[in-house]
Structure 1
């Protein structure tokens, strides 16, 4: 399989305008008739939401730290199916990433430079032009020559102050032989509101996010040479696309057969709406590529039509027209499930639970689950739920409304007591505590939660400290912490993880079939955990 051409949007440092440029470029290219695949380097959940609004298809992540360097190209191939160009937004500065102290000369792991090199794609450097003049040439010379494996293909000048300022900057770029692909004026009205963990997610920002994306699109369409960007796009990678079904078969090492997974995939595809999803037919050679497009919002996430607001709801795991279906669905008691029925995995979505990777639902579906997305702010627990996923997000911003949905809180607590498999990450952990900033939560975990004084951020090399519905004791996992809350009054639950930073750390809680933790993991890097979770859901459904 030959790769779709790409450009990587990078910068000398954070805050240079990468997200504005990448999102606007995706929108402008789409408006010009291109099918655009958007990506974000690293573990960021928020920027892909804006990318998805602009593209009309899921924004995806490329993170060598969380999924392994060997999966970056396959995941890229998977995410570009049916597209003619890809836009990859970088993280931090071009060469910033995880440093191996024993190899100071190596490319930083997880850096934009590493991903650009793996993809063989050219880099467009976005420079915040404020304060720059002729000395910009020296900066560009350094970035262009620092690493021969990274090809700097052009520059976009951001926040240019005047025509004269632009002329001086263009002369500096010409001096080092780098073409200027665009020059954007200062546009304060394009700023998207942020809070303690960065930008407000698109699904929470609603119509304002639509307006911001439209403005970014117009700005880039007006001030960037789109034809030059398309001409620059390239890539030298070849190989098969990531296939969730194949990953599961390999990861489980014969505990389930290829035939059993394939049958699950066929059943799920027949029960879902993939036939109405053009993305599914484009990737039909991959057994479960679009299986996440079930009877919930997933089918909308692959369409290139419809409003940005509808796409945001789909991409951020919010139900669309299915909310009434979930509320009125007939109960399916576990002992009387139809023969061969797929176990239902309920995934929390809506404004409070916006963090998630597209590959998570694809793996769950390929493992034989039926996926139902619900909003804990307003919905009940979907009927027949055999497994519950509570992903990351911002429950602290919605604590009062989460608390007010008492019926759901009680149902989850009762489910946990009966052995319902629950996978809770960060926001999910907070929701399972007794209280969050004084508001009653589900009370599954013996702890309280509160907004804290400092941000906890960084990759972790973790070890599972006990068996759970996700991991066997001793499993080694790479994850990422990103929160500004903390637990207090903690009880005696078994810790989920252990790792070492400046000191040894134990974190999270395992309680029955509940696995709750601050640690975010990428399912594509841990397919065996997904298979283990779906198997636990099957056992619960059939008990």
Structure 2
């Protein structure tokens, strides 16, 4: 029996403290040193998770107490850690920041669920002794937290680092596991949704530079000791997907290119477990698509590639024809934008597939951000009416069409913005499209129903 004992959770005091850079640096440094690293990202995130996958050379899974019970989280963690020398979990926001004043769904709560030692990355800009007070407060703030060390980030020089270290040693018993200097610029470029996508340029050199930084400034041996000191994980959790995988019964295409690539690994795995053969497609490649029985359009950056997508008219026309034919199509966020009539950005309007008579317009600020909760209000091939759907949204575009209120929809938003007028999940034949993202493990039955609809299409039956 394998127990994924060596594990750490890297957290920060807030967003922007540098924990992502520290996590990437550690993952790459350990991987480069011959360790097999299993990477995880806390919370709903595609971009950081993809960079962690690249840094560790191993797929990254998301762990989220909002979506998943403790048992599901431990199952995902265990089974995705098999074969690893250590597991590295990147937290999100501040260590204790959750959905309410009790810190529900926080990184600290996730650490307790996994009995994971915590290493805290702290932005030390214009601070010295106060850092020790902050660390002392964090160490005793909540019972059950194992604060195994701190990494002091954005230090100004040797004198600054000396005072920081002496303050920590004098006033706390928490070890300093590294002190990073201020960097002139972020080694990985950023834009509106966070780090720039690796789909658009080769980031290997940047990750190796971060590993060099970690090797010079971090106590990698101490960090590994903290991971190895994690308590025994306990009994082996059940499999992520119960039962034997179903026999292949349908081909489901999913667009995965530089424009659309936001997919949780477990969503694709759930479809395969339910009997789907997955076929990777592109909106940017002019090559005709092979025949498929269903289609999954994830999120991404269609606004960045709007001109190229609009120029690929044969693929967009084919996409519209598939929707009109009744093919089961599930689209999230960026995929929804592609299915609309037009996409507006930088005072230009680009023609999209036109499945829905809607326009989405890119805005300078987020138009939807955070966890969602919704009720399914119409029976579809994906959900029965009455289903409670937990999800999340993060989009800078908004639906600006006056006709939005006239269209049939599948979701009534209880929490979150949705697409328009408290609604989401626009419906057309067997197409479902909206801003809401889901995680398959939080919406039981989605994958099975999707595959069943695609299988019905394959056999000529009516889904």
- TM-score category (smaller protein): over 0.9
More strand per residue: 1 or 2? 2
Aligned to 1:432: 339
Deviation at 1:188, TM superposition (A): 2.1
Q: Secondary structure at the match of 1:65?
A: coil
- Paired with 1:393 and 1:235, the residues of 2 have a C-alpha distance of 38
Deviation at 1:67, TM superposition (A): 2.6
Q: Is the 8 A contact 1:343 1:538 kept in 2?
A: yes
Aligned to 1:223: 217
CA shift in 2, pair 1:352/1:239, >3 Å: farther
Deviation at 1:245, TM superposition (A): 3.8
Q: Is the 8 A contact 2:370 2:416 kept in 1?
A: no
Aligned equivalent of 1:538, options 415, 440, 455 = 455
- Paired with 1:235 and 1:480, the residues of 2 have a C-alpha distance of 32
Aligned to 1:465: 377
Q: Secondary structure at the match of 2:392?
A: strand
Q: Is the 8 A contact 1:42 1:63 kept in 2?
A: yes
Moved segments of 4+, more than 4 Å = 501-504
TM-score (ref. length: structure 2) = 0.93
- Paired with 1:67 and 1:464, the residues of 2 have a C-alpha distance of 19
- Paired with 2:261 and 2:184, the residues of 1 have a C-alpha distance of 26
Aligned to 1:152: 147
Q: Is the 8 A contact 1:464 1:473 kept in 2?
A: yes
| Cα shift readout 1:367-393 (whole Å, capped 9, x = no counterpart) | 111111122111445322111000011
| Cα shift readout 1:244-286 (whole Å, capped 9, x = no counterpart) | 541xxxxxxxxxxx5xx5451xxx6xxxxxxxxxxxxxxxxxx
Aligned equivalent of 1:416, options 304, 310, 323 = 323
Aligned equivalent of 1:135, options 123, 127, 130 = 130
Deviation at 1:197, TM superposition (A): 1.5
Deviation at 1:526, TM superposition (A): 1.8
Deviation at 1:158, TM superposition (A): 1.0
Deviation at 1:134, TM superposition (A): 1.1
Cα RMSD, aligned residues only: 1.7
Q: Is 1:195 aligned to residue 191 of structure 2?
A: yes
More helix per residue: 1 or 2? 1
Deviation at 1:110, TM superposition (A): 2.3
Q: Secondary structure at the match of 1:496?
A: strand
The correspondence of residues 19-168 of structure 1 with structure 2, limited to 5 A, is 19-99=20-100, 104=101, 106=102, 108-168=103-163
Deviation at 1:446, TM superposition (A): 2.1
- Paired with 1:380 and 1:422, the residues of 2 have a C-alpha distance of 20
Residue segments in structure 1 that go unaligned for 5+ positions in a row: 247-257, 269-341
CA shift in 2, pair 1:227/1:22, >3 Å: same
TM-score (ref. length: structure 1) = 0.79
CA shift in 2, pair 1:36/1:379, >3 Å: farther
Deviation at 1:193, TM superposition (A): 1.7
Q: How many residues align?
A: 446
Q: Is the 8 A contact 1:6 1:87 kept in 2?
A: yes
Q: Is the 8 A contact 2:410 2:426 kept in 1?
A: yes
Deviation at 1:483, TM superposition (A): 0.3
| Cα shift readout 1:376-428 (whole Å, capped 9, x = no counterpart) | 11144532211100001110111010111111111111111111000100001
Deviation at 1:186, TM superposition (A): 1.5
- Paired with 2:448 and 2:438, the residues of 1 have a C-alpha distance of 15
| Cα shift readout 1:450-483 (whole Å, capped 9, x = no counterpart) | 1135312011111111112211111001110100
- Paired with 1:344 and 1:473, the residues of 2 have a C-alpha distance of 26
Q: Is 1:382 aligned to residue 310 of structure 2?
A: no
Q: Is the 8 A contact 1:348 1:375 kept in 2?
A: yes
Q: Is the 8 A contact 1:51 1:59 kept in 2?
A: yes
CA shift in 2, pair 1:480/1:141, >3 Å: same
